[in-house]
Chains A and B, each alone.
Chain A
Amino acid sequence: MDKDIVTLAHGSGGEMGHALVRSIVDIFDDPILDELEDAALVPFDEQEGHCAGRIVFTTDSYVVRPLFFPGGDIGKLAVCGTINDLAMRGAVPLYLSAGFILEEGLPLADLKRIVASMGEVAHEAGVRIVTGDTKVVERGSADKMFLNTAGVGVVPPGVQISASSARPGDAILLSGAVGDHGLAIMTQREGLRFESSLRSDCAPLHTLVQAMLEASPHIHTLRDPTRGGLATTLNELAGQSGVGIRIEETSIPIHEPVRAASELLGLDPLYVANEGKLVAIVEAKDAQDVLRAMRAHPQGREAAIIGEVVDEHAGRVAMCTILGTHRLLDMLASEQLPRIC
């Protein structure tokens, strides 16, 4: 039985620890990782097919309950999330690290399934996991597994994408329907027996970004609306760029099961997390070209122009409702809690 779960011995640095690391490394199957050096020595030159440019570097930690959910798992989330953070600067993601904090008692089969999922999504995305770390903590000190990934990518010359670059007159595009990830997790976590149609949208977005950049060099801002949802992201961008944002409620795509589950739980899908969507702020004259490029990509089929950047109400987001009235779309004050009535 002990063989099938993570134990403190796996974290001791002894034989069992080495075997655990070996089994993870074998799944990732990357020659650089395979060297098991303290730090990965990675090629970075045009001979390797990497374009010249500036390096971007990011890190993110992932905690999610349950570890497996419809549409993904913590491993896929950790790889996609870091790829997406790199992609939101217009970068081509190249190398990732993976740091595992494992709770004593975690089934090894779960760990391997998660590692396999990471390997698979990294391989499909053309990104290499080249270094990593594992630690084991006592039961009760972590929630089954915490996962950190850091990533390195390169921004091609001429690409200047930043959260502070939105300008009045720019168009605001959204790559698809919002709320899927957060509601898939929530309904899974709470054992609410909804239809299985709620699935996380967890996906890497770098090839979508590359397709958009081919359509227009005038993409000013990109951000993936993860925690806090679309509303929070738009508020962040309005604040960081010092501009106002105006959006149309009717133009925001929301899948019907998400809408129905949100109504039932008293949640607003505009504040629910996404893991495979992006907001793009683009020069108005290029908006249609970028939209076309997005819709031609599998991750952007439901893309829509949802609003514009304005020079009024700097730092705030206004929404035109379906009744034609206007109201503030505020930042999320604290986590959304399902209502009683």
Chain B
Amino acid sequence: MKYTDEYRDPGIARHLIEKIRKRSTHPISIMEFCGGHTHAIMRYGIRDVLAPHVEMLSGPGCPVCVTADVDIDRAVALAHLPDVTVATFGDMVRVPGTGSSLQEATAAGADVEIVYSALDALALARKDPERSVVMLGIGFETTAPTVAASLVEAQESGVDNYYVYALHKLTPPAMRGILDAGEVRIDAVLGPGHVTSITGWRAWEFLPREYGIPCAVSGFEPLDILQAVLDLVEAKEENSPRVDNTYSRGTKAEGNLVAKSLMKRVFRVSSALWRGLGEIPESGLALRPEYAAHDAKRLFDRLPPLGGGPSPEERGCRCGEVLRGMVTPPECPLFGKACTPARPIGPCMVSAEGACAAYYRYRSA
């Protein structure tokens, strides 16, 4: 397993940087959809080495960040039910809702378990049949298939104390939502590599076809990103919008068919509420009626009152605008002052995928 070094070669990086500088003559504004890309771009200082008229905008691709306050509040309320364990991926626990975060709820006696996979949550349910285990189904097309797999297994093996709170979101509709809103100029899209390994790169063909803008699907190493930026610059200079797949080691045209069919079996496409973007039609996944017995919504009528405090936005947080690429994190008045990774106000400062966390962590000395 030696795959990271060859994508971090300083010599090849310098060569790509030089080529980008030579090829780009027109201003170009590239949205990196994925928070993982924002993180890598900041970590390696890629912004600093690009030509000044090559602008990188961070997008909404941070699953934790786009989760709506009301959904966090419901998760916290679920965790406070005496017979319920909430299982979640790690970076969700510190995201503040309008009342508390899951981590603060734990300190107050709520039962929250960090898991690395929905199958771990299913194992928790098996171990303790007396408790209801609710897996928070957060994440894009990358995590939805494993959550689907856990539901199939729960159904087949009759683990009826296992529930999923389906908050999964789909990335192409969100990109469409941002473009349709027309709030920021976007000339090109750096496509999310991990997501595209599931959806297939054809999922991004609507970008050149309907919006006339190029998309380059990219991995997360510095050379992946530089190569993708070069592809986008060339597509723009040649005025030939297209989908380039620079992440061919991870993605195919049709994606992962097994994962896609698993998702289809368990979930149906529904509208979803995104922080910052609002309600977007056909941008989320809900459980199919066949899996209704495992839907955490069944527990909602037992929930105590939700949150009740001010939302991050009401406290001055501009995560919503950061997620739409309208402002960069340092433009938020709270950034680095009232809001830091140690005391985050908005989710973009919490998650390893969050743009504010990336800007803060990798600021210059």
A residues sitting closer than 8 Å to B (CB atoms) are 190-192, 195, 244, 250, 256-257, 259-260, 263, 266-267, 313, 316-318, 321-328, 330, 333-334, 336-341
Contact = CB atoms under 8 A, between A and B. Distances in A.
24 contacts: A192-B116, A256-B2, A263-B220, A266-B36, A322-B10, A322-B222, A325-B44, A325-B49, A326-B45, A326-B365, A327-B42, A327-B363, A327-B365, A328-B365, A334-B94, A337-B114, A338-B352, A340-B64, A340-B89, A340-B138, A340-B351, A341-B34, A341-B139, A341-B143
B74 interface: no
Interface residues of B, number: 54
A330 to B, nearest CB: 6
Interface in B301-357: 340-342, 351-353
Contact of A338 (B5, B90, B363): B90
B140 interface: yes
Chain B facing A: main interface SS: loop
B62 A341 contact: yes
Given A325-B44, A338-B91, A260 B1 contact: yes
B13 interface: yes
Given A324-B49, A333-B341, 4 more contacts: A256-B4, A323-B49, A339-B36, A339-B90
A316 B363 CA distance: 12
B222 A339 contact: no
Contact of A313 (B140, B362, B365): B365
* 9 A-B pairs with the lowest CB-CB distances in the bound complex, closest first: A325-B45, A337-B90, A333-B341, A318-B365, A333-B342, A339-B352, A340-B89, A328-B365, A338-B90
Contacts of B36: 266, 339, 341
A192 B340 CA distance: 30
Interface of B: 1-5, 8, 10, 13-14, 17, 34-36, 42-46, 48-49, 61-64, 89-94, 114, 116, 120, 138-140, 142-143, 194-195, 220, 222, 340-342, 351-353, 360-365
Nearest to A327: B362
Given A328-B364, A337-B91, A321 B44 contact: yes
A266 B353 contact: yes
A118 to B, nearest CB: 30
Interface-centre pick from A190, A317, A318, A323 (highest chain B CB count, 10 A)? A323
Contacts of A244: 365
Given A256-B1, A325-B45, A334 B342 contact: yes
